[in-house]
Structure 1
């Protein structure tokens, strides 16, 4: 087993608890999987609705020297879609899990690569004592490919609309105070990335998306009574939805549209914020004793 693979499989979360000063002493702050020009040429644009996770996995495999059709990757990741035509309870359930979790990315990458690629997730919530850029640089130089799972509803620039989803993005490089990512191709200040990586597993759903599905015949009690996830009850999603409806009706009757309504309700989310590190597995032999082709990057491990 390669040193990197051993480290990914066996390292404990204590690795993340190095002080920032110690990490800076160990490594410099710059590391790149691709140059900017290579990223422009090689990045994959979003392959489908809610498929940012599968899109990131396509680029992970590319970075590790493995070409797999985007449709096959999406099948392996098992991207979940929003049920936009459903009544409110089912719609909110679909919103809470639309797209993919880090676990789906890991299993999808392994399946799509026929076992040649493995992944390890590092959670960033609750907050960790880690200096993000040096930590990422160390892993990139070791041959790992990072994917960030971020709550894009955090660190929203002033004056911009709150996004309506979490997002997975491949990180193709870092340098001091900056993180380079694909889908979209972007350079983001490390403090913004860190804030989005450090989020509870919740999602804000716009008021308009709730009200247009809040019909008299929808059973809101299903949200708090029939879910295996107790957060639906503790976040009082049912109560917030009812409150939206009542306030909206009162304001329409009073024609007091100048006052601001609560803009979102908070629901549980299936995602966990953090970084997934992907790397090539060692050569294996299948049951027919045929050697699985090696990944390009394994030669350097």
Structure 2
């Protein structure tokens, strides 16, 4: 039997370091929770986090615990704009909501990714997933908008159910999203793109990843004691 070539061995090792799955894609199709209400992507992601950790809680209970904020569409303009800056839920609400909805059995830890961090995203995610943590990405969808598409008017929370080399698999909607591209373009200024007039509303959110784990587990203690990611 011939020994595996160094190139093939390196590729296999890289694939192992860059790969980890909570669910297969087929399982994710069956198990993912679709958006449970207006501005409730955060609560929806927490429902799937608890499911991935073996805890079944109704979406209504999770949404109540997360305390999703809604847009005040019928309010005067100044009040409506203020509500837009807070619509949905912050990572702090996801952490407290998961803890409350699980009866204290689950804890969460947020790692900010903006300002930009010194990080190899996929191996970092894979390591925590293999340890038993369940991640939610909080993303500013107004960054890295594909050419020709309209700029979204919201942030978004999505459960990350797995990673592979060059890809991050997420639910709500089921997607393979190039999150690294979004992070890499957070500060990039593309002067050649056509300018569109938009009203800039400060948001209550921070981009990053929140990991969840059973309170009494080793991975929970490791998460809670880990330092913030170093800045670039």
- Fold match (TM-score > 0.5): yes
Provide the secondary structure at the position in 1 that maps to 2:70.
Answer: coil
1:143 CA drift (Å) = 0.2
1:193 CA drift (Å) = 4.3
Give the conservation status (yes or no) of the 8 Å contact 1:154–1:195.
no
1:86 CA drift (Å) = 0.9
Stretches of 4+ moved more than 2 A in 1?
A: 189-196, 260-263
Q: Which residue of 2 aligns with 1:266?
A: 200
Q: 1:68 to 1:181 in 2, by over 3 A?
A: same
The count of residues paired between Structure 1 and Structure 2 equals: 200
Give unmatched runs, 5+ long, in structure 1.
1-23, 200-259, 284-296
1:163 CA drift (Å) = 0.7
Provide the secondary structure at the position in 2 that maps to 1:267.
Answer: coil
Q: Which residue of 2 aligns with 1:194?
A: 183
Q: Which residue of 1 aligns with 2:116?
A: 127
Give the conservation status (yes or no) of the 8 Å contact 1:149–1:166.
yes
Q: Which residue of 1 aligns with 2:43?
A: 54
Give TM-score scaled by structure 1 length. 0.63
Larger Rg: 1
Q: Which residue of 1 aligns with 2:7?
A: none
1:144 CA drift (Å) = 0.3
Aligned equivalents of 1:170, 1:154: Cα separation in 2: 19
Taking only aligned residues, the RMSD between alpha carbons, in angstroms, comes to 2.1
Aligned equivalents of 2:157, 2:179: Cα separation in 1: 16
Q: Which residue of 2 aligns with 1:69?
A: 58
Give TM-score scaled by structure 2 length. 0.82
Q: Which residue of 1 aligns with 2:209?
A: 275
Q: List per-residue Cα deviations over 1:92-143 (Å, max 9, x = no partner).
A: 1000000000000000000000000000000001100101000000000000
Aligned equivalents of 2:54, 2:102: Cα separation in 1: 10
Q: Which residue of 1 aligns with 2:148?
A: 159
Worse overlay, 183-192 or 109-118? 183-192
Give the conservation status (yes or no) of the 8 Å contact 2:116–2:183.
no
Higher helix share: 1
Q: Does 1:177 align with 2:166?
A: yes
Q: Which residue of 2 aligns with 1:19?
A: none
Q: List per-residue Cα deviations over 1:23-70 (Å, max 9, x = no partner).
A: x98x71000000000000000000000000000000000000000000
Provide the secondary structure at the position in 2 that maps to 1:160.
Answer: coil
Give the conservation status (yes or no) of the 8 Å contact 1:132–1:194.
no
Give the conservation status (yes or no) of the 8 Å contact 2:71–2:83.
yes
- Counterpart of 1:85 (choices 42, 52, 74) is 74
Give unmatched runs, 5+ long, in structure 2.
1-12, 188-193, 221-232
Q: 1:276 to 1:77 in 2, by over 3 A?
A: same
Provide the secondary structure at the position in 2 that maps to 1:268.
Answer: coil
Q: 1:195 to 1:91 in 2, by over 3 A?
A: farther
